[in-house]
Amino acid sequence: MNDTFHWLDVQRIAEELADSDPDANPVAISFTDLRRMVTDLPGFHEEPGHPVNERILEAIQAAWIDELDGIDHEED
């Protein structure tokens, strides 16, 4: 299994972010900080020809929110 991922792996990124900091509030994080957080994740590698843009960051943020919401419901 390939353990690397890139910007188009939105769901994987959301899962990794939720695992790395479950107490974070994705809504309060700027896109600049979100970009840095993603690039700092172990296994993340930018793919040539697939740069990040605001639309991708919005998708990551939304998926991260959904991921954290799912974790909260699992604990109930």
Is residue 10 one of the residues assigned to a domain?
A: yes
Q: Provide the token pair at 16.
A: 């990794």
CA trace torsion 25, 56, 40, 21 (10° rounding): 20
Question: Is a pLDDT exceeding 90 seen at residue 11?
Answer: yes
Is residue 65 one of the residues assigned to a domain?
A: yes
pLDDT value, residue 63: 97
Is residue 43 one of the residues assigned to a domain?
A: no
Can you tell me the mean pLDDT for 20-35? Answer: 94
Which residues, in sequence order, are CB contacts of 25 under 8 Å at separation 6+?
none
Is residue 13 one of the residues assigned to a domain?
A: yes
Q: Domain range holding 2?
A: 1-24+51-76
**71 or 43, which is more confident:** 43
Can you tell me the mean pLDDT for 10-17? Answer: 97
Is residue 39 one of the residues assigned to a domain?
A: no
Is residue 3 one of the residues assigned to a domain?
A: yes
Can you tell me the mean pLDDT for 42-57? Answer: 93
pTM of the model: 0.86
How many distinct structural domains can be found in the chain?
1
Question: Is a pLDDT exceeding 50 seen at residue 1?
Answer: no
